[in-house]
Structure 1
Amino acid sequence: MINKHIIYIGILMGIQLYAQEKVQAPLTLEYCIEMALDNNLDLKKSTLSKDASQVNFNQSKAALLPTLNANYNLGVSNGRSIDPYTNDYVDQKLTFSNAGLNLNFTVFNGFRLLNSIRQRRYSLNAAAMEVAEQRQNLILEVTLTYLQILNNRDLLTLAKSRLETTRNQLKRLESLYEEEFGNPADYTDMQGQLALDMTSVINARNSLKEAKLNLFQLLNTAMDTDVDFVSIPVTDIIKEYPYTADEVFSDALANMATFKAKQFRLDAAESGIKAARSGYIPKISLFGQLNTNYSSAAQFFTETGTSIAETGGFVTVNGTDYPVLTNETIFFGEDIRYMDQIKNNVYTSFGVAVTIPLLNGFQSKNNVALEKIKLEAAKIDLQSTTLQFKNAIEQAYIKMESALERYHIYKKQSEAFDESFRINEIRFNNGVSNIVAYLTSKNNMDNAMINLSNAKYEYLLRVRVLEYYRGV
């Protein structure tokens, strides 16, 4: 029973979590932008790249600090080797150990470290600007996709309205057709128009689903086909754009994160050249060492007395050989303890080291050449980006002006065709006009409304793109 309760609780928790992950409707543009900034994977990858640049920058600053390293080893040696305690050759099994501290501090190296810090700082700033650029691009993509959804939703509404109008006419003609009154071709033509309008609804619905799918991919969340979106009062904000193309481009150069990132990359390349040139300059550093060692062969000897021993030589007296004796001191050997040796064998050294580069396989020369190539590449990248943005701004501006002109034209056309359809519908219902004039008028009105909706949202899209270029 307890296990069943646990299972039920788990199921309820899973349902609750799913409900929390499910997108709440209706969605606003601001909510979609916020969700995209939180969930988008490309933006997260760009943020991680900036974090890596931060670590590299911190490491370049830490390189100014002295290096202090400790070492320790313990081993066994067999055969002929050098006793680290006496520096004599021994031929025995030997246990040895060494320990030490090494300190190194760079005093001067041609300002390589300082230039490297500047280079990493510029790279960090560039990475931060690239994250901002990614955010701006994502906001623009979400906004454009959101507007595309609203456009497709309006087109779907228009398609459904056209379909409903055709169905009502078909019902009226069906009764006349059954009563064998009027032209039978009117009924069949209206059936064909109904099929055409049904196809338009299907196409509009699919376009809306595709736009929703594109948006949810940017949001990095599961798609909900039933979710609705809050409308934007687009008609109220359709007015002449207050900036020229040159003004937009000037604002882009001053405000866009893209150009700031390219400039930082250029500054980083210049610092890289200065850092590479330090390879031609001598390096001055301070060093210090503290070391000690241990040997299992090391012993401490204590005198315990003397003894008479033969030397191996002989003295002949009257034909008789007498051995030569000597008085030898007797010592007692005692192993020196590990810690005693570690304390007693300590030795230190310190000084100044100067490294003068004479010949290193042209490594410094080639490093400078590579950094110069990177600098030229950064300059070309900045110039290319500037040219691309200038062309893109001019194209977007031309399309924006064209969309605004077409909007005003389609608005007048829609009003005219709407009135024409109203008149032709009355005439057709009263039998004064034929089906051809009715369908022609209806299709003209429908196409005008579609063109008006497309021009309206295209203008808003172009304005949003230009505002993006301005850094707004």
Structure 2
Amino acid sequence: MKRYHLYSFTLISCLCLVFSAARSQVADVDTLSLEQCIALALQQNINAQQSRLLIEQAEIDRRQAWQNQLPSLNATLGHSLSQGRRIDPTTNQYIERRFTAGNQNISSSLTLFDGLGTLRNIRQQAIALQATEMENNNVQDQVKLDVMLAYVQLLTAQDMLKQAELNAAVTEQKLNQATIQHEKGAINPGDYYDLKGQYMADQTAVNDLLISCNNSRVALANLLNLPPGSAVEIRPLGEELLADPQPADNVQLYDYAVNTLPAIRAAALRAKEASVALKVARSVYFPSLKVGAGFESNYSGNENLSYGRQMQNNLGRYLQFTLSIPLLNGLTTRNNVARAKLAVSNAEYLEENQRNALRQQTDRAIFDLALAKDSYNNLVEESASFSASYRIAEIRFEAGDIDSVPFLIAKNKMDTTNARLLISKYEWIMRQLMIDYYSGNLQF
């Protein structure tokens, strides 16, 4: 009996440890870093998954283009029941009674020459596959950028919520003191109601930031394609992202980005694909040569021989060469070539447009980063000044030297500046991440 109790105690203890470890692992998974969010999004995001399907489709098209070089092989088997005046397939004579007939055929054909259209199509589909892979990489980059933006927005909302709750707590403390004084008639009623109104305003700000925080969390969960109701908790970013590296050069940043970003490389490959597609369209101008071979036989119900014997007796073989020379086909080939030329021009314009857009983006990224750093440094000094001013106003208000109006003005200035400082901090981080993306230093 004692051994049974010992066994039960050991089993329950093990189960408790396993349950505690499982809860600890779930907690760790629920608290995600930026790297984990990006990895999860690349795996589960709908856009990323659809992009991978396009790669599989492009691979099928490339494989089909290569397999078009293989010969065709087809077999047919037919059987008919006829009545009235018909031709017997075995004797080629008319008969006027009901009979059955059948035919069998196995044929194969191979294209010997088609103006190099098949080979050029193989090259076109290979380039299309490379372009699709680059476009998939670009989709992944966009997912990364979207996750980074949503992550930083959620961090901003969370920190601003904490700041707003702290502001409300300070106001509540002052209001509690004023309430006691108000009940004793030791405070100006106007000061008391000013503090009460300020506390209600702080609570409203907290509620607004709760909504903003929830919206940011839902947006991040949507990017990660998490199930409904999933609670997303994230970790703060390291302060090393606020480092002050040497300012990037506009020309160097653009040159590096244009040679490495998948969007530009995909546009260049699409232009190359369009150029090869033009050659494919022109190959139809040339004659095509095909060789074909096959076996065929037939069967007639009028014969007294068996089905197998008739197949052997009526077996025929053939070998044929077919030369097809395009002369006039409604100018279809000419119009297809004209469309292919327009596609080449359009692809070149798209590539140039991508380069111009990238040049604007890199120039703006450098300018925005410099402005974000300058704004942050200014707000640090501004916050320190308004904090000192608030402390002076607080001492004077508690001493009765000033009323609630200058005190609340000083407090609101400090609170507003601290909120702007938080926003500026995360804006600097986001601008720095964009520079890292364009320069290839993004570590995610």
TM over 0.5: yes
Counterparts of 1:4-19 in structure 2, within 5 Å, are none
1:103 shift after superposition: 1.2
The equivalent position to 2:73 in structure 1, one of 68, 73, 94, is 68
Q: Which residue in 2 is equivalent to 1:341?
A: 310
1:242 shift after superposition: 3.7
Q: Identify if the C-alpha distance between structure 1 residues 65 and 351 changes in structure 2 by more than 3 Å, giving closer, same or farther.
A: same
Q: Which residue in 2 is equivalent to 1:410?
A: 379
Q: Identify if the C-alpha distance between structure 1 residues 378 and 21 changes in structure 2 by more than 3 Å, giving closer, same or farther.
A: farther
2:221 and 2:232 in contact (8 A); partners too: no
1:96 shift after superposition: 0.9
2: CA distance, partners of 1:235 / 1:293: 84
1:24 and 1:227 in contact (8 A); partners too: no
The one-letter code sitting in structure 2 at the alignment partner of 1:127 is T
The equivalent position to 2:150 in structure 1, one of 140, 145, 148, is 145
2:241 and 2:432 in contact (8 A); partners too: no
2: CA distance, partners of 1:225 / 1:414: 37
Work out whether 1:455 is the aligned partner of 2:424.
Answer: yes
1:110 and 1:282 in contact (8 A); partners too: yes
1:25 and 1:227 in contact (8 A); partners too: yes
Size of the alignment, in residue pairs? 418
2: CA distance, partners of 1:117 / 1:105: 17
2: CA distance, partners of 1:368 / 1:40: 40
1:39 shift after superposition: 1.4
Q: Secondary structure at the match of 1:168?
A: helix
The one-letter code sitting in structure 2 at the alignment partner of 1:148 is Q
Q: Identify if the C-alpha distance between structure 1 residues 285 and 340 changes in structure 2 by more than 3 Å, giving closer, same or farther.
A: same
Structure 1 stretches lacking a partner, 5+ long = 1-18, 299-334
1:54 shift after superposition: 0.8
Q: Which residue in 1 is equivalent to 2:10?
A: none
Structure 2 stretches lacking a partner, 5+ long = 1-23
The equivalent position to 2:205 in structure 1, one of 200, 203, 215, is 200
The one-letter code sitting in structure 2 at the alignment partner of 1:455 is S
Work out whether 1:94 is the aligned partner of 2:63.
Answer: no
Q: Which residue in 2 is equivalent to 1:264?
A: 269
Q: Which residue in 1 is equivalent to 2:236?
A: 231
Q: Identify if the C-alpha distance between structure 1 residues 223 and 250 changes in structure 2 by more than 3 Å, giving closer, same or farther.
A: farther
1:240 shift after superposition: 4.2
Work out whether 1:377 is the aligned partner of 2:377.
Answer: no
1: CA distance, partners of 2:161 / 2:246: 29
Question: What CA deviation, in whole Å up to 9, does each residue of 1:330-366 have, x standing for no partner?
Answer: xxxxx11100001111111103221111111111111
User: Over alpha carbons, which structure has the higher Rg?
Assistant: 1
Q: Identify if the C-alpha distance between structure 1 residues 20 and 165 changes in structure 2 by more than 3 Å, giving closer, same or farther.
A: closer
1:22 and 1:222 in contact (8 A); partners too: no
Question: What CA deviation, in whole Å up to 9, does each residue of 1:184-235 have, x standing for no partner?
Answer: 2111110111111111111111111111111111111135575421111236
Q: Percent identity of the aligned residues?
A: 30
Q: Identify if the C-alpha distance between structure 1 residues 164 and 421 changes in structure 2 by more than 3 Å, giving closer, same or farther.
A: same
2: CA distance, partners of 1:287 / 1:236: 69
Work out whether 1:154 is the aligned partner of 2:159.
Answer: yes
1: CA distance, partners of 2:30 / 2:75: 62
2:258 and 2:358 in contact (8 A); partners too: no
1: CA distance, partners of 2:436 / 2:228: 29
Counterparts of 1:90-129 in structure 2, within 5 Å, are 90-129=95-134
1: CA distance, partners of 2:327 / 2:191: 99
1:133 and 1:258 in contact (8 A); partners too: yes
The equivalent position to 2:335 in structure 1, one of 366, 374, 384, is 366
Q: Secondary structure at the match of 1:349?
A: strand
1:144 and 1:461 in contact (8 A); partners too: yes
The one-letter code sitting in structure 2 at the alignment partner of 1:376 is S
Question: What CA deviation, in whole Å up to 9, does each residue of 1:139-184 have, x standing for no partner?
Answer: 1100111011111111001100000000000011111111111322
Counterparts of 1:39-438 in structure 2, within 5 Å, are 39-224=44-229, 227-234=232-239, 237-240=242-245, 242-298=247-303, 335-438=304-407
2: CA distance, partners of 1:236 / 1:382: 33
2:242 and 2:428 in contact (8 A); partners too: no
1: CA distance, partners of 2:179 / 2:302: 118
Q: Identify if the C-alpha distance between structure 1 residues 390 and 236 changes in structure 2 by more than 3 Å, giving closer, same or farther.
A: closer
Greater helix content = 2
Q: Secondary structure at the match of 2:317?
A: strand
Question: What CA deviation, in whole Å up to 9, does each residue of 1:430-470 have, x standing for no partner?
Answer: 22333222111111111111111111111111222233333
Question: What CA deviation, in whole Å up to 9, does each residue of 1:249-283 have, x standing for no partner?
Answer: 11111111101111111111011111111111111
2: CA distance, partners of 1:222 / 1:180: 57
1:23 and 1:224 in contact (8 A); partners too: no
Greater strand content = 1
Q: Identify if the C-alpha distance between structure 1 residues 245 and 224 changes in structure 2 by more than 3 Å, giving closer, same or farther.
A: farther
